[in-house]
Amino acid sequence: MSFEGSDVNGSLWVGEGGKIHVIDQRVLPFREEEFILNTLEDACFSIREMVVRGAPLIGVTAAFGMYLASGNNSNNIMETLEEAAAYLNSSRPTAVNLFTATRRMLETAAYCHDPAEIENTLFLEASRIREEEIVSCRNIGEHGLPLIEAIWERKKPSPVQILTHCNAGWLSTVKYGTATAPIYLAHQKGIPIHIWVDETRPRNQGARLTAYELGLAGIPHSVIPDNTGGHLMQHGLVDLVIVGSDRTTRNGDVANKIGTYLKALAAFDNQVPFYVALPSSSIDFNMEDGLRNIPVEERSPEEVVHTEGWDGLGITRIRVLPENSLARNYGFDVTPARLVTGLITEKGICPATEGGISGLFEDLKI
């Protein structure tokens, strides 16, 4: 199997016999494998263990998890679904898409008058959420593209240099990605670009996933240690930063992969535009002050102690630390809105402020 044509299916698709397929992101870029979600437990496992990751894809996976749970047609289907939602919600704490998706699926089920129709209704609703994420990402690309075009007009024939952190590509959504959507569209339009890919320790989503995606698409890129971005910006080697978001508050504070805040500080210090690309499904309209309120997942120190890679024969794990040293592993940080140049959403670009966000998403305001 090869994922060369994976943009046809994206990172999650419904296969033959209605089975839910995802790409197993734990083994990329070394092996290209699928993982099939047969049960609610499979969906929870795939989110918790990061078979799938990225806020939008977590939301879509959770939606299909709710559909899978509805297959257990117990006497009290709503109780079963409430439990399924709680189980899914406990799988990871930071991405708001997870909670939004499970709530929406519960509401859809509650509006379904015929219990026999719930399973089918939930399948359709999950498929709709998947489709909406694809359309959102495509629109994010269309809205972000002019930013790249403007830089290209200014500096051609030098390529536009864009820095990104972690993976906010199609692997983290379904298709196109968020931060990568404008990048893919710029590349399709023939604008010369070069992407600085933060390797994104400890799980190396940049080195493993973003580099894999860009390689498939034939987009020039260089993987750099997470330490490097500031130096590059000091020397004029970054024209634009675009990252994704796991949760953005109504006032524009951005939770994203740990280390994003450090890059935002460097961008601010060097007057490099720093944009966050996100679908509105990643906006938490009920929350402000992200630094205080967004829960930041602390994951197993093992992800820091050991690094995983290809040893020539297979995927292997090596220990980098001394045997008795401890490690800590915070998954995300929060970039204060004051450091964000703008949010690239499916409805357009807005300032990272309450006014900016509510201007675009009038209907979603609480």
Q: List residues with catalytic annotation.
A: 246
Q: How far is the CB of 147 from a second copy (least distance, A)?
A: 24
Q: Does residue 332 contact residue 257 with C-beta atoms inside 8 Å?
A: yes
Q: Does residue 55 contact residue 68 with C-beta atoms inside 8 Å?
A: no
Coil, strand or helix: which one is 276? strand
Coil, strand or helix: which one is 319? strand
Indicate whether 208 belongs to the interface with a second copy (CB under 8 A).
yes
Question: Which is closer to a second copy, CB of 28 or CB of 112?
Answer: 28
Binder of a second copy out of 227, 286, 295, 302 (CB under 8 A): 227
The site string for a second copy over 3-42 (x = CB under 8 A, - otherwise) reads --------------------------x-------------
Look up residue 238 and give its two tokens: 């970054």
Coil, strand or helix: which one is 310? strand
Would residue 33 be called left, alpha or beta, if left means φ above 0 and alpha means ψ between -120 and 50 degrees? Answer: beta
SS (H, E, C) 167-179: CCCCCCCCCCCCC
Q: Please, is 9 exposed, middle or buried when counting C-beta atoms within 10 Å of its C-beta (0-12, 13-18, 19+)?
A: middle
Look up residue 1 and give its two tokens: 């199997």
Question: Which is closer to a second copy, CB of 147 or CB of 223?
Answer: 223
Indicate whether 295 belongs to the interface with a second copy (CB under 8 A).
no
Q: How far is the CB of 283 from a second copy (least distance, A)?
A: 21
Q: How far is the CB of 119 from a second copy (least distance, A)?
A: 39
Q: How far is the CB of 222 from a second copy (least distance, A)?
A: 5
Indicate whether 187 belongs to the interface with a second copy (CB under 8 A).
no
Which strands, in side-by-side order, build the sheet including 34-37?
Answer: 12-14, 20-23, 34-37
Q: How far is the CB of 328 from a second copy (least distance, A)?
A: 5
Beta strands in 146-205 (DSSP E): 160-164, 193-198
Indicate whether 286 belongs to the interface with a second copy (CB under 8 A).
no
Binder of a second copy out of 131, 153, 302, 311 (CB under 8 A): 311
Stretch that binds a second copy, among 39-47, 58-66, 318-326, 355-363 (CB under 8 A): 318-326
Q: How many residues bind a second copy (CB under 8 A)?
A: 63
Q: Please, is 79 exposed, middle or buried when counting C-beta atoms within 10 Å of its C-beta (0-12, 13-18, 19+)?
A: exposed
Indicate whether 144 belongs to the interface with a second copy (CB under 8 A).
no
Binder of a second copy out of 35, 170, 184, 212 (CB under 8 A): 212
Coil, strand or helix: which one is 185? helix
**Under the rule (CB under 8 A), what is the footprint of a second copy?**
29, 197, 199-202, 204, 207-208, 211-212, 214-215, 221-232, 234, 257-259, 261-263, 265-266, 269, 291, 296, 304-311, 316-330, 332-334
